[in-house]
Structure 1
Amino acid sequence: MSATPSEALTASVDDGQDGGKKGQEGVGLKASTTSSWKAHRNMSANRAFSIRLRELREAPPYWSRADLARRLRAAAHPDDPIPHVPSLIGLIKQWEAGRHTPGRRYRPLLARALRVPEHELFGDASPTTGPEDGATRLSLTSLNGSPASRKLAREHGDVWVIREMLRSLTASDRQFGGEHVREYATGYLSDVITPRLHRCAKSKERRELAAVSVEFSLRVAAMHLDAGHDTMSHHLLGVALGLAQQINDRPLAAWVLSRWGEQALHEASLLPDRHRQLIDSAVACTTAAAAMVKDAPPMARSFILTKVALATSLTGDRTSTKRALGQVWTAYGQVGTLEEPAWVDAYEWGHLRHEEARCYANLGMAAEATQAAEDALRVRTEARPRAFSLGVAALGYAQAPGADIERACALGQDLIDAAAELRSRRLMLRVSEVLQALAPHRGRRDVEALRESATTVLGRGTG
């Protein structure tokens, strides 16, 4: 077996106020700028949104970035804390510069803060259009060879088109599971992306293409891991790590390395005879990844640190796990102070809280696990991420002193329903863990009903 990524890497390891006129609390819809939106339809999605956002913010009554940041905080749910005003100002600057668009967490908050319908703010076709539908249409048409698709590729370039495809496939994976798009995504990676990467000679363009190739490889690797194709997932992670090292992108390489560690944790749950060895490998991988992101933007650092905490929690070391979790939230409090890598857009507060719940569950801290998992469930609405949080919450309720078996069974049934749709081996493992935790309560009607419901899903496999 080839050297692990950790071995391979051993040799190589604003102020709170804006200038300008002070904002006032506007009343009603700031609609005076909507007539200019049509002029931006042919621009890239990021640029068009950035113009709309700034026009709305600066339309009478004028709001500074600090004003908008305060409105964002006011629009958030009390149980879903978002960064403080100075950090949010940094995010708003990035949005208005066209570097990023808000993720799923900030879209509704921004629409409420600006008092405009979400579909108008983000340029969706209709109020019922989902956040990713526009990207889906753009990226899928890029493959059909039509004049419109060729024009799109000429205007935006290969990297943009591939990134839009990645966003679409990610949205499909998160909502419906990777079973439906895994083969297509694998073919797109091998037949579309890889040949372009090999032909690309310009250093800047190749760097951008290599970076999006790494992101694409990791998404496809996760799909294969869900299907039980561990060897293929390993292969894709290895290719991704090599590319990230070639372009000397340390945060990107750290992301790959942390994912390698997470796969080791998954395999540890399947291979009892190698459990400790795989846990140690996961700790080594994630610790090396954390060392690579000491100076990285804060959300990237937060994400990597959750993997350190997760691997450490499986050693039973509460002190070190809590220390790592403390570092996660310290970094998260600084979000917005530096521009984040593109891959970070897929991860937000709910993901961090979910990973924290997993750590507590591994440490037997059931009350803390259920609270963190319930927090994650409030903001994780996509089917696949939500299903994993359902599993942690159900496990916590089953394990807690004075266990809430009724709540555990209700969440367990939601998990089983999701697993039946998503066809993920990892979700099926979560179902088995919940059933095992409920084993001392066999004989209860709700527990027996849950076990019967799980039988079909567990017997089906992932195909």
Structure 2
Amino acid sequence: MVAIDVPIWSARLQVLRRARLWSRRELGKRLADAADEATRDRLPTLETLTWLIRLWEAGERRPDERYSELLCRAFGVDEAELFVGDAAGTTLWHYLTGIPLLSGMFTAEEEERTGRAIEAPQRADDGTISYFKAVLDAYTRTDLRPADVINVLRPVFEGIEEFHRDASSPVRRAFLLLAAENAELISRMHHEAGDPGGALVWSDEAIRDAREAADTLLEAYTLAQRGGLSDTADDPGQIVDLAVAARERVNLPPRMDALSRHHEAQGHALAGDRDMCRRRLEESAQSLAEPGDDTRYRFDCSIEAHNTLCVGCLVDLGYARSAIEILEQEPPKALSTYATAYAMARMAHAYADAHERERAVETARQALVLARQTGALRALHELARVQLHPRQARRKRILL
């Protein structure tokens, strides 16, 4: 067995925390929440708890009985699972690879089998593929911070890359397809995290893997998604070309067709072409209304997403009043997600362009709080585009 520089229990503490996307400070808060009132009053400050967690994960100090109990409560595991070395092999390969350890999702046998495949990719089989698909599904959630998703999925992608290079031929293509989906998801998270350069790099990887796998539907999907990685007027023609190219690759299922036409409409709006934008939005709505779509790829092409994009197109075309009509019929759902933060930022933009300044300021304030809470830097960039009255513009700068 490969040696590591910390005790197994310390490594397990670290991989459990990372899999839950908790910072050490967040874990410290959860320890306090897990304590009863009498115990909580005797706990040190949050800064001290964060420092203690760092020491535990470095193996420099072991939690005493009180902290051991709080850790087990916070993670939802028993003491044997957290501190006893029965699952040393599982802890080891998760610690070394950075692939998240999702406690309770897989059996000990599935963990052991995946660990053996990590050591020797030729052992990979359908079970290994199912394991990695389940991990991707676990992190395909809009309530997670985009930067956190990026950090947890990068090592997953690296593991999948090893398999599609070195696994035996029966499963190699399946891993290649999975790598393309993973890269595309990471690309979108870079986009939501306000990193357009990173988004394009990962989009290139997704398109490349889809083409290498010779899967035209997956290639069309990656092209359609790439069309949504630009929110500016820098090159609206490229957005249109990508959306059209996606539809030219293959006969798209309804939801994917709607996605393609969504993004083409956005390109036409940025170019100032009202008629083509309206036509594509109508076509995308028609595609969304078609039944029987079993597209397996992960993306949001809901009515709510469609309405948000319509609002964005109307704002870009200068029809703020029409955008507000849609917004007031379908206000953003009160969920703490990066998608809701962006929708609210668009709403603030529409109110500002319609010269409803007080509503713009209040909506921008709400969007700002939610964007900071969810790590939605794209929403912050949208807020920066909002033009207010000079005095209120100063207030907005203070907010930002």
Normalised to the residue count of structure 1, the TM-score between the two structures is 0.57
Given residue 254 of structure 2, which amino acid in structure 1 is its aligned partner?
A: P
2:269 maps to which residue?
313
Which of 214, 217, 224 does residue 251 from structure 1 map onto?
A: 217
Shifted more, 217-226 versus 147-156: the winner is 147-156
Q: What does 1:353-364 align with in structure 2 at a 5 Å threshold?
A: 353-364=307-318
Matched, 1:433 2:395: no
> Relative to 1, partners in 2 of residues 1:312 and 1:453: Cα closer, same or farther, differing over 3 Å?
same
> Relative to 1, partners in 2 of residues 1:450 and 1:369: Cα closer, same or farther, differing over 3 Å?
same
Q: What does 1:235-384 align with in structure 2 at a 5 Å threshold?
A: 235-263=201-229, 265-266=230-231, 268=232, 275=234, 278-293=235-250, 295-336=251-292, 338-344=293-299, 346-374=300-328, 377-379=331-333, 381-384=335-338
Cα deviations across residues 85-138 of structure 1 (Å, max 9, x unaligned)?
A: xxxxxxxxxxxxxxxxxxxxxxxxxxxxxxxxxxxxxxxx9xxxxxxxxxxxx9
What secondary structure does 2:318 align onto? coil
Q: Aligned-pair distance for 1:141?
A: 3.5
Matched, 1:149 2:111: yes
2:372 maps to which residue?
420
Q: What does 1:222-241 align with in structure 2 at a 5 Å threshold?
A: 222-241=188-207
What secondary structure does 1:339 align onto? coil
Matched, 1:409 2:361: yes
> Relative to 1, partners in 2 of residues 1:354 and 1:206: Cα closer, same or farther, differing over 3 Å?
farther
Q: Aligned-pair distance for 1:379?
A: 4.3
Which of 382, 391, 413 does residue 345 from structure 2 map onto?
A: 391
> Relative to 1, partners in 2 of residues 1:287 and 1:143: Cα closer, same or farther, differing over 3 Å?
same
1:163 maps to which residue?
133
> Relative to 1, partners in 2 of residues 1:389 and 1:287: Cα closer, same or farther, differing over 3 Å?
same
Which of 153, 156, 162 does residue 185 from structure 1 map onto?
A: 153
Cα deviations across residues 147-176 of structure 1 (Å, max 9, x unaligned)?
A: 4634799997233222222222222xx224
Q: Give the CA RMSD over aligned residues.
A: 3.1
CA distance in 1 between partners of 2:125 and 2:209 (Å): 26
CA distance in 1 between partners of 2:127 and 2:301 (Å): 25
Cα deviations across residues 59-107 of structure 1 (Å, max 9, x unaligned)?
A: xxxxxxxxxxxxxxxxxxxxxxxxxxxxxxxxxxxxxxxxxxxxxxxxx
What secondary structure does 1:262 align onto? coil
Which of 160, 163, 167 does residue 196 from structure 1 map onto?
A: 163
Q: Tell me, which stretches of 5 or more residues in structure 2 are unaligned?
A: 1-75, 77-99, 116-123
Given residue 155 of structure 2, which amino acid in structure 1 is its aligned partner?
A: G
1:82 maps to which residue?
none
CA distance in 1 between partners of 2:326 and 2:220 (Å): 25
Cα deviations across residues 375-411 of structure 1 (Å, max 9, x unaligned)?
A: 55444735111011001111111112xx322221221
Cα deviations across residues 339-379 of structure 1 (Å, max 9, x unaligned)?
A: 323335x4322112211221111111112222334555444
> Relative to 1, partners in 2 of residues 1:405 and 1:354: Cα closer, same or farther, differing over 3 Å?
same
CA contact (8 A) 2:181 2:297 kept: no
Q: Aligned-pair distance for 1:243?
A: 1.8
> Relative to 1, partners in 2 of residues 1:245 and 1:419: Cα closer, same or farther, differing over 3 Å?
same
CA contact (8 A) 1:353 1:375 kept: no
Q: What does 1:70-219 align with in structure 2 at a 5 Å threshold?
A: 140-141=102-103, 146-147=108-109, 149-150=111-112, 157-171=127-141, 174-190=142-158, 192-203=159-170, 205-219=171-185
Shifted more, 235-244 versus 315-324: the winner is 235-244
CA distance in 1 between partners of 2:140 and 2:328 (Å): 24
CA distance in 2 between partners of 1:354 and 1:184 (Å): 28
Aligned length: 294
CA contact (8 A) 1:397 1:408 kept: yes
CA distance in 1 between partners of 2:381 and 2:214 (Å): 36
Q: Aligned-pair distance for 1:317?
A: 0.5
CA distance in 1 between partners of 2:369 and 2:326 (Å): 22
What secondary structure does 2:214 align onto? coil
Q: Aligned-pair distance for 1:305?
A: 0.9
What secondary structure does 1:239 align onto? helix
CA contact (8 A) 1:373 1:390 kept: no
CA distance in 2 between partners of 1:194 and 1:306 (Å): 31
CA contact (8 A) 2:349 2:383 kept: no
1:453 maps to which residue?
399
CA contact (8 A) 1:257 1:285 kept: yes
Q: Aligned-pair distance for 1:226?
A: 4.1
Given residue 240 of structure 1, which amino acid in structure 2 is its aligned partner?
A: A
Q: Aligned-pair distance for 1:214?
A: 1.5
Q: Aligned-pair distance for 1:256?
A: 1.4
CA distance in 1 between partners of 2:378 and 2:332 (Å): 22
CA distance in 1 between partners of 2:367 and 2:143 (Å): 14
CA contact (8 A) 1:139 1:165 kept: no
